[in-house]
Structure 1
Amino acid sequence: MNTAPASITITDVTVYSGRQWLEGRDVVVTDGIVTAIEASRGTSALGDPKAGSVDGSGAYLIPGFVNTHTHIQQSLMRGIAEGTPLLEWLLAVAEESVLITPEKAYTATVAASLEALRSGTTTLVEHMWPHPSSEVHDAVIRGLHDTGIRALLGRGVGDRSDPTRKWGFDPRLLQPLGDVLDHTDQIMRDVAGSRIDAAVAVPNPRSLTPEGMAQVREFAQARGLTVSIHLLETQTDNMMCTEHTGMGAVDFLDANDFLWDRVLAVHCVELDDRGQKVLAERGVGVSYNPVSNMRLGSGVAPVPSFLEAGLAVGLGVDGAASNDTQDMLETLRTGAYVQRATRARADLLGFGAMIDIATGGANSALGLPPRSGGVSVGDAADLTMIRFERDFGCLPVRDPGASILTTGTRQIVDTVLVAGEVVIRDGHSTRVDEAELISALSA
């Protein structure tokens, strides 16, 4: 369902464009694309999306966030295994994942997507764990469609089983790799022409054999798909790969030609200088997940070093079992602050740098159009409109960018457009019965 009018104008808004704030602008959207940013004609009047108008007076417009990594089914697993190390936490999550039903998967998808939208996220990169049920995947697709969010849906793949998850993946969730790839083709057909694109999701370097890597690489490259893979969240990848192959994780992947410009490496907390150089040379993107890494005690990814090495870096919230929210504004702030704390520098990762990371930093690896410097003519109309007065804790506003970074909360997100359709208005979904969702989650 897409109820977006052919043309819509956000009137008299202050827009972040060309790395500056432009006051009193009309932002014109035609067929889901930003077609003009011009001096306001003062026609804000009714601000009725159905009539092709959104009143932006007193508001601030930024691009929608691209959450480069999440596990949406985990929105039913908040607080799970709190205070436990990664491998122990993974085993607890696995038990819940085995028990997922299509009904639960649908509810989890709607909850995670709506929570993301309400914090200004317009695109989700969903990293599904391998699962043999096509009905579960169908439920996820239906949930994404119903909320109106844009998404890359990563179908989980793996071909090495190990119940301990040290050198392989949970055998209860694996199925023949050929069947998985056939199902990925089916997903591509199912989502064609929608706001959802298919992708491939690899749990970690330990979950694919060299033969499996070759098969997945050939499949993904032939179809132009993104491959998302957890990499070096802790030293476990290095230790296990060295024990079984005599190589560290990056070398193991590289030796099997499993690093190219449509690979998104997630976390990379333990990625050393040499690994950064290899990933940069191969064009691999990185998903930075600061809140999740803190919650699980994994450490802090050296993002300034990544950027200096030429790596494309995007921002990720991760699943609600390790964050435990889908709040991109919280992650935006934390992502900057933790780098300043670990490097004892207050001048790192200000609003300009963080908004670029959070709205398009890894788009090259995701197959999405490039985006930096704010809203531009020609961009997809995936936009977030902010009203600081919705949260008095954000007032007064001296600098809109500084306020978004340092005080921004989900409360200030007033209106969100995806492909030119208003999917959040006055902080609430225009598509989902929120009372019904609350009832389903409480049950």
Structure 2
Amino acid sequence: MSDCDLTPDRLRDHAGPLLLVPDAVLAPDGPWEGHAAVVAGGVFRAVGPAGKLEREHPHLTPLRLPGHLLLPGFVDAHHHLTQSFGAALAFGEPSEIFRRVWVPLEGALDEEAVYVAAKLAALESLRGGFTTVAEAGTRAPVDVELVAAATRDAGIRCVLGLICNDDNDGDGTGDTGAMLAEAEKHLARYAGEELVHPSLAVSVPEAATDRLLTRTARMAAEAGAIVQMHVNEHLAAVERSLVRHGLRPLEYLHRLGALGPQLLAAHATLLTPREVGLLASTGAAVSYNPVASAWKGNAVAPATTLAERGVRFGLGTDGTRGDAFRLADAAEFAQRIAYGLATGDSSCGGGWTWLDRGSRGGADAVGLGARTGRIAEGAAADFLLVDATAPETALSADLPWELVRRANRDQIRAVFTAGRLRLWQGWPVDWDGPALVARAAELAREVRLRAPVVRAHPVSADAWAVRP
């Protein structure tokens, strides 16, 4: 077939399994030219040289994709799906804004607003090349099934966190037993689902009792799930832990036995050499969130050091913007500015590091390493078809670097999750994306009016008007 024959109907309605023949497949060890993939039953049934697969599957009509790349879908290792109505409220704000912005905003969401906000965030993520998101848990006073339903309906894979805080006030009076019972129900509720994968979440270590931190770590490990937790995100969080426990957050978790492969530590921007060693020795994972550091943080996680020390980590947006290529670019750029310039490191991990951590490494960090994040036989068919003929990549001599520094999300022609076409040229193929965006705009205005949000700075237009 010619390039003009590449249509959503051909990809969505093609009878039987798909035999995709792109110009190149981005495999775990780099781009493979002249390779193809067979997709059936939601997984990659075979990946290998195109001629070999065509001979082995003579009953399949090859879908030839000249000028296109087959890439694994990206994994957003840290998201807050129900914060999408307030994304711009974080602009120009100092760190530790969760008390002033996110808690009141999510508290003002009703059931419809939660569903629409989460589905809007899922749509943005799919448009940006993410096929999996790790939802860190909503504070909205609703059943998290609304978030699960939104991601299912959007067609994105979701690691769904349930916030299990039992000591928000720091007085130890929370009902730990009831919270642990809810956690157990959550893990059982979504066990075995195709697109929704349960996880537990604790906002920050000091929001939970020792008993809860220990028990949730054990429960998640036994269930093959993860515990998502904001750790060492800001100076204030580290200082609170030092005052309360005499230990930094990661040291405290290690003392409790809660630091292990089940932990996904979001941000981890302020790490001592000892803490890097604890992460490496216990197998805990990190979500490196470079855009969040730039927008509202006070430090950048030492991701290149983590990579060299063998620490598991993925890339997360923290809900800033659902654009995987820009996230990969930010991941390399932040390392260059924060560490590379001072040491003369002009590579800072190389382009391949950030593509790998944005896909395979991210899948591993969120507990789905055996399921997604790579183009390989037996893996879930979560992938992108990317137009490589755009000016940004047409002359490529180093594809991984080009994809990190120059590729754009408008080059993503198709997004597949679990073997199904979900988006074509940026919009859903089986539900009304523009209608959702329109409704989200209406609801967002209503929610922002009733939410008691407190900003430290005026919006940019007002600030410009009163400039000296």
TM-score, length-normalised on structure 2? 0.83
1:40 partnered with 2:63: no
Residue 40 of structure 2 contacts residue 419 of structure 2 at CA under 8 Å; is this kept in 1? Answer: yes
User: Which runs of structure 2 are paired with 1:93-132 in the superposition (5 Å)?
Assistant: 93-132=102-141
| One-letter amino acid matched to 1:420 | G
Residue 108 of structure 2 contacts residue 140 of structure 2 at CA under 8 Å; is this kept in 1? Answer: no
Q: Which of 64, 83, 86 is equivalent to 1:77?
A: 86
| One-letter amino acid matched to 1:328 | A
Give the distance between the partners of 1:168 and 1:418, measured in 2 at CA: 44
In structure 2, relative to structure 1, the CA distance for the partners of 1:53 and 1:184 (3 Å cut) is farther
Give the distance between the partners of 1:335 and 1:168, measured in 2 at CA: 38
In structure 2, relative to structure 1, the CA distance for the partners of 1:235 and 1:12 (3 Å cut) is closer
CA deviation map 1:157-181 (0-9, x unaligned): 101123xxxx589x9xxx7444444
In structure 2, relative to structure 1, the CA distance for the partners of 1:193 and 1:297 (3 Å cut) is closer
| One-letter amino acid matched to 1:156 | I
Give the distance between the partners of 1:340 and 1:435, measured in 2 at CA: 38
CA deviation map 1:357-412 (0-9, x unaligned): 111214444332359995222322111110134x5455543433222111111101
Give the distance between the partners of 1:259 and 1:351, measured in 2 at CA: 30
Q: Which of 37, 43, 63 is equivalent to 1:27?
A: 37
Specify the alignment match of 2:242 in structure 1.
242
Quote how far apart the aligned CAs of 1:227 are: 0.3
User: Which runs of structure 2 are paired with 1:237-316 in the superposition (5 Å)?
Assistant: 237-316=237-316
In structure 2, relative to structure 1, the CA distance for the partners of 1:14 and 1:394 (3 Å cut) is closer
Unaligned segments of structure 1, at least 5 residues: 45-50
CA deviation map 1:230-253 (0-9, x unaligned): 100112222111111222212211
| One-letter amino acid matched to 2:95 | L
Identity %: 25
Give the distance between the partners of 1:373 and 1:184, measured in 2 at CA: 27
Specify the alignment match of 2:418 in structure 1.
419
Q: How many residues get paired?
A: 420
| One-letter amino acid matched to 1:107 | V
Specify the alignment match of 1:140 in structure 2.
147
Specify the alignment match of 2:5 in structure 1.
none
| One-letter amino acid matched to 2:403 | I
CA deviation map 1:175-225 (0-9, x unaligned): 744444433444444433321110001111111111222332333233232
Residue 360 of structure 1 contacts residue 370 of structure 1 at CA under 8 Å; is this kept in 2? Answer: no
Residue 290 of structure 2 contacts residue 331 of structure 2 at CA under 8 Å; is this kept in 1? Answer: yes
In structure 2, relative to structure 1, the CA distance for the partners of 1:402 and 1:107 (3 Å cut) is same
Residue 146 of structure 1 contacts residue 431 of structure 1 at CA under 8 Å; is this kept in 2? Answer: no
Give the distance between the partners of 2:83 and 2:65, measured in 1 at CA: 35
User: Which runs of structure 2 are paired with 1:65-214 in the superposition (5 Å)?
Assistant: 65-134=74-143, 137-162=144-169, 176-191=175-190, 192-214=192-214
The DSSP-based 3-state class of the residue aligned with 1:56 is strand
1:15 partnered with 2:25: yes
Give the distance between the partners of 1:393 and 1:18, measured in 2 at CA: 23
Quote how far apart the aligned CAs of 1:119 are: 1.3
The DSSP-based 3-state class of the residue aligned with 1:280 is helix
Larger radius of gyration: 2
In structure 2, relative to structure 1, the CA distance for the partners of 1:18 and 1:95 (3 Å cut) is closer
In structure 2, relative to structure 1, the CA distance for the partners of 1:221 and 1:25 (3 Å cut) is closer
Specify the alignment match of 2:352 in structure 1.
352
Residue 11 of structure 1 contacts residue 54 of structure 1 at CA under 8 Å; is this kept in 2? Answer: yes
Specify the alignment match of 2:322 in structure 1.
326
The DSSP-based 3-state class of the residue aligned with 1:266 is strand
Specify the alignment match of 1:408 in structure 2.
407
Residue 14 of structure 1 contacts residue 22 of structure 1 at CA under 8 Å; is this kept in 2? Answer: yes
In structure 2, relative to structure 1, the CA distance for the partners of 1:225 and 1:12 (3 Å cut) is closer
The DSSP-based 3-state class of the residue aligned with 2:215 is helix
In structure 2, relative to structure 1, the CA distance for the partners of 1:182 and 1:306 (3 Å cut) is same
Specify the alignment match of 1:60 in structure 2.
69
Specify the alignment match of 1:47 in structure 2.
none
| One-letter amino acid matched to 1:66 | V
The DSSP-based 3-state class of the residue aligned with 1:277 is helix
Two-structure CA RMSD over aligned residues (Å)? 2.7
Give the distance between the partners of 2:61 and 2:178, measured in 1 at CA: 46
The DSSP-based 3-state class of the residue aligned with 2:346 is coil
Specify the alignment match of 2:378 in structure 1.
378
Residue 34 of structure 1 contacts residue 378 of structure 1 at CA under 8 Å; is this kept in 2? Answer: yes
CA deviation map 1:129-183 (0-9, x unaligned): 445422xx12111101101111110111101123xxxx589x9xxx744444433
Residue 81 of structure 1 contacts residue 89 of structure 1 at CA under 8 Å; is this kept in 2? Answer: no
The DSSP-based 3-state class of the residue aligned with 2:66 is coil
In structure 2, relative to structure 1, the CA distance for the partners of 1:432 and 1:246 (3 Å cut) is same
TM-score, length-normalised on structure 1? 0.87
Q: Which moved more, 1:85-94 or 1:58-67?
A: 85-94
| One-letter amino acid matched to 1:101 | D
Q: Which moved more, 1:411-420 or 1:357-366?
A: 357-366
CA deviation map 1:314-371 (0-9, x unaligned): 111112xxx2x11121110010011122222221222211111111214444332359
| One-letter amino acid matched to 1:430 | V
Quote how far apart the aligned CAs of 1:41 are: 5.5
